[in-house]
Every structure is written in C-alpha cells, then in structure tokens.
Amino acid sequence: MEEYKFEQRNNHYKIAFVSDFFYPKLGGVEMHQYQLAQCLQKLGHKVIIITNCKQGRQGVRYLGDGLKVYNCPIVEFFHGVSLPAMFLRLPLFRNIFIREKIDIVHGHQLSSMLMYDVFEVAKALGKKCIFTDHSLFNFIAPENHITNKLLKSFVCHLDAAICVSHVGKENFSLRTRNDPKKVYVINNAVNTRNFRPKEKNEVLDFPPNFEEKEGVLNIIMIGRLVKRKGIELSLKIIPRICQKYPNINFIIGGSGYGVQDLEDMRDKYLLNGRITFLGDVPNHKVRDVLCRGKIFLNTSLTEAFCITILEAASCGLFVVSTNVGGIPEVLPPDMVYLTDPNVDKLCEKLDLAIQNIDSIDEEANHKVIKSLYSWKPVAKKTEKVYEEVMNTPSLCLGDMFKLTFSGGWLQGLLCCMKFCLLIFIAWVAEYIQPEADIDPAVDFPVKEYISNKEKYGDHEFIFDTREDSLMMKKYPHKKD
C-alpha cells in the first residue's frame, strides 16, 4: 500500500463498497476495491465493504488500516456470485446502512447479483448510488443481451457511473443508453512498491526450486486461462516461438479450463522442459514470477483496462499484447508492442521484442509507471465524483418512474411495481424497528491508527490463493 499521511477534508462521506467479489478471492476487482478503500480512508472518508459469505467467513471483520468488511449470510452460488433475492434482504441492508450512517453506495462489477439487491434497497431508502464497470461486453452474445437488459433496469436510477477506460465508457453508454455526462473515466492503478524490478543479487523464492538457466530468456503469461483471455492464440504462438528460439522458455501462471489444452500442446510438441505451469499464483508472489522473465505476453480478446500488463511493466518487463478494448490506453508506446489478436502478427511482435530486449531500461520503465499510475490520484478523482453526486439533488419518485419506463413499458411496469413494493417494505421495517432504536456502529479510529500504528500494533495482511485463505502477520510493538 502506498504510504502517505492522513489528510483533512471539508466533507467526510460514509461509503459502502458492494460486490460479490472480494477477499479472500483474488482478482482485479477485489484488488481495486481494497486499494481504493484504503486510500479513501486516508483521505478522511469512512469506507465499509459489503460482500457475501466466503469460505465460512460470516459476520464483521477488519482488514488493514481498519477497513471494515460485512460478510453477509448470503451463500455463493456460481463462481462466487450469489443468487438475487429482491426485497427479502431489505431488513439486513437497511440495518447496515443505518448503523454505519451510509451516504453513498458504490457497487463494483456488473456480474455481481448482490450489488443489484443492495442498489434497489439503497434507492428505496434514498441513498446515492454509484457503479464502477470493470469489464467490456459485446452486443451479440445472447447471455450479454440478457445482462444488458438487466443493467438498463437499474442504471437509469444511478447517480453516476465510473469506467476504467474510455473504451469502457463508450461500451457502457451504448449498452445502457445512459447519459455519457453521468459516466466518468478513472483508470486503474498499481501499487508500484509491490511491483518493482529485480534488484541486483536478489534471490527470488517463487516458484520454489525453479532453476535459472544461463542464456535462457523467459516469456511470462499470467491470467485466467479461458477463451476470452486468448487461450486459443497461446496454443499456436507458444510452439512456434519455442521451435524458432531454442533459448526461449515460457512461464504460465493462472487457472481455467484452458490448462488441459496447454498441457496437451506441451506434450504434443515435446516442450516439457520449455514450459512451466504454476497454477494460481498468490498475489504476494506475482512479482517473483514476473521478475523471472523479460517479456510479458498478453493474448486477451477483450479487456476494459488489463491491470496485469501494468504490473508487468512496473516490474520492468517489455509487454507484447493484443490491442483490444482499453489496452491501447494503458502503456506508453515505447513500453509495449500492440497488434491485432492474430497469431502471425503476435509472433512478429514477439520476434521484434526478443531482438530488442537488451535495450530495455527496467528502472526507467518502473519510474514511468510510478508517475502515471498511483492509487492516491485515483482516490482523489473518485472523491470528486462523490462530491458532484452529493451536491446534485436526488430525483423525485415521479422522475424515477419516468426513467424506469425508458427501457420499455413492460420492463418499466415490472420495475415500478418492484420499487413500490420495496418502499412499502421499508415503511413496514421502519414501523417494526424504528431507525432511532438501531444503535450506531463505533467507527474505527483510522486517523489515530495511521498516525501511531505502534500503539495499536502494526499488521500486514497476506492473501494466499494457494492456501485459499487470508493470513495475517502481526508485528510486535517496538521497544524504545
């Protein structure tokens, strides 16, 4: 986490991040929420996380710097996503909002069903709602057509939306027919302290028992091994490069149904000693893997931003990538070779990168990434969105109904009926348990903790996907 002091602000907002995707599971969305929440707390705001029950974790937990997490008693259904429950969860979310005195509900990731439920409750209770879109979706696939319809039904009531790239903004605005003026672009960032080039004489301990071979250049690939990540391109590129360059090896990290295809390809072309499969790589070990190589290969077929190439460039690797989605917006042209998602063209760019690899200045690349992608500016830009939303008057009930019908009369009628039912249940909940009877939660003393960690005991959290658990290392108090 980037170090900077607690800042005093005129307005202190109480924000609830909502998503099915959070620790101990790891991914770009999870990391984005954690890093952004930490920075917002250092700017003086209060942030809590609302997520589902993960691996038996239920109740309230605290992460680093007092980040409060509500693991609600909602079971994961498929790939970490919970089933929607409409108005049945209103009493639970209402209680959290009142206890924490929430001003803004900030949802993350389109495929999170929990977010839809919380947004509906938040709007029924008059809260401000903001959504961050981390993905791109096409307009052709049947499943995406259904998702886009669902998205339209609640986006019309959003106070603002945030996309991680300009391509993402265009995609989101077209899919939802939302006013582009209410859609903001705030890029992702990377913790450059955790992703830095390999130091001289530094010993890397991951992967264990990995043998460094003199004169061998490693090409790194890390990500989900699935179709949309370009696994079919990788199956053709890897054997071609290995056959052309005897001194080139591949290190592949990640999991997915493409692992079996890659293993079959390795056996078919007799590349057992040339390709290393690592499986899921723990987050705190990703740098060790990246520092094993000189070139990072990304074959994604769709990406809104692709934070992985940012982490690779921060470690000093040269990047060869497809030019899909928001990827062209990420890195300066002297740090990446971009091309169409085509086997021949990607091999040509890899040839060029291999020939010019000795001219790469790893430290210079790291400094560029450090200057361009920091979490503190991301937090300040997000804070400005919060300010605009809080200073904008909320829509009256009539205007909300009018916007709901903009998606079609049948869909609008169903959504209006559901919204009226939510308002009625909220009135019933207020009658049964008045807001005055709900005790407010005690806020964690973030400012005092940051300014004097020795008093509370400093903590470092390590998220390990191999153990599928969250480990905490506590440092003892320092003595004078």
How many other CB atoms are there within 10 angstroms of residue 190's CB atom?
Answer: 25
Supply the pLDDT for residue 406: 65
pLDDT at 5: 55
* Band of pLDDT at residue 276, cut at 50, 70 and 90: very high
473 falls in which pLDDT band (50, 70, 90)? very low
Using one digit for the tens of pLDDT, what is the confidence trace for 353-390? 999 999 999 999 999 999 999 899 999 999 999 999 99
Q: Is the pLDDT of residue 93 over 60?
A: yes
Q: What is the pLDDT of residues 337-348, one digit of tens each?
A: 999 999 999 999
Q: What is the pLDDT at residue 466?
A: 42
- Answer whether CATH 3.40.50.150 is correct for domain 217-373: no
> What is the rounded average pLDDT of the residues 69-73?
92
24: cis peptide before it, omega within 30°? Answer: yes
pLDDT at 330 over 50: yes
The ranges of the chain annotated as CATH 3.40.50.2000 are 14-189+376-459, 217-373
Dihedral angle sign, alpha carbons of residues 429, 435, 439, 444 = positive
CA neighbours closer than 13 Å in the CB half-sphere of residue 201: 0
Of 446, 447, 434, whose CA–CA distance to 95 is shortest? 434
Can you tell me the distance from the alpha carbon of 326 to that of 186, in angstroms, rounded to the nearest whole number? 12
Alpha carbons 246 and 161: distance in angstroms, whole number: 49
Please state, in angstroms and as integers, the Cα–Cα distance from residue 4 to each residue in 7, 14, 188, 368, 374, following that order: 9, 21, 19, 20, 12
User: What integer pLDDT is reported at residue 120 of this predicted model?
Assistant: 87
Which band of pLDDT confidence, cut at 50, 70 and 90, is reported for residue 106?
Answer: very high
- Give tens-digit pLDDT for 419-434: 888 888 889 999 999 9
316-325 pLDDT, tens digit per residue, is 999 999 999 8
Name the more confident of 56 and 5: 56
**Cα Rg of the chain (Å, integer):** 24
Summary mean pLDDT of the chain: 85
> Which tops the pLDDT comparison, 139 or 5?
139
Q: Is 62 helix (H, G, I), strand (E, B) or coil?
A: strand
Cβ density class 53-72: b for 16+ within 10 Å, e for less = ebeebeeeeebbbbbbbbbb
Distance CA(274)–CA(106), nearest Å, equals 45
What is the C-alpha separation between 307 and 300, in angstroms, rounded?
Answer: 12
The pLDDT of residue 46 is above 90? yes
pLDDT at 363: 94
* Domain with residues 14-189+376-459, CATH architecture: 3-Layer(aba) Sandwich (3.40)
DSSP-derived secondary structure letter, 281: P
Mean pLDDT, to the nearest integer, of 230-259?
94
Complete DSSP assignment for 297-350: EE--S--SS-HHHHHHHHTT-EEEEE--TTGGGTS-GGGEEEE-S-HHHHHHHH
Short-list 450, 449, 458, 451, CA closest to 478: 458
**What is the per-residue pLDDT for 9?**
58
Q: Are strands 459-464 and 469-474 parallel, antiparallel or unpaired?
A: antiparallel
Tell me the per-residue pLDDT of 137-156, one tens digit each, with 9 for 90 and over: 776 666 666 667 767 777 77
Span 84-91, average pLDDT: 82
Contact 173, 180 (CB under 8 A): yes
- Residue 413: count of CB within 10 angstroms of its CB: 13
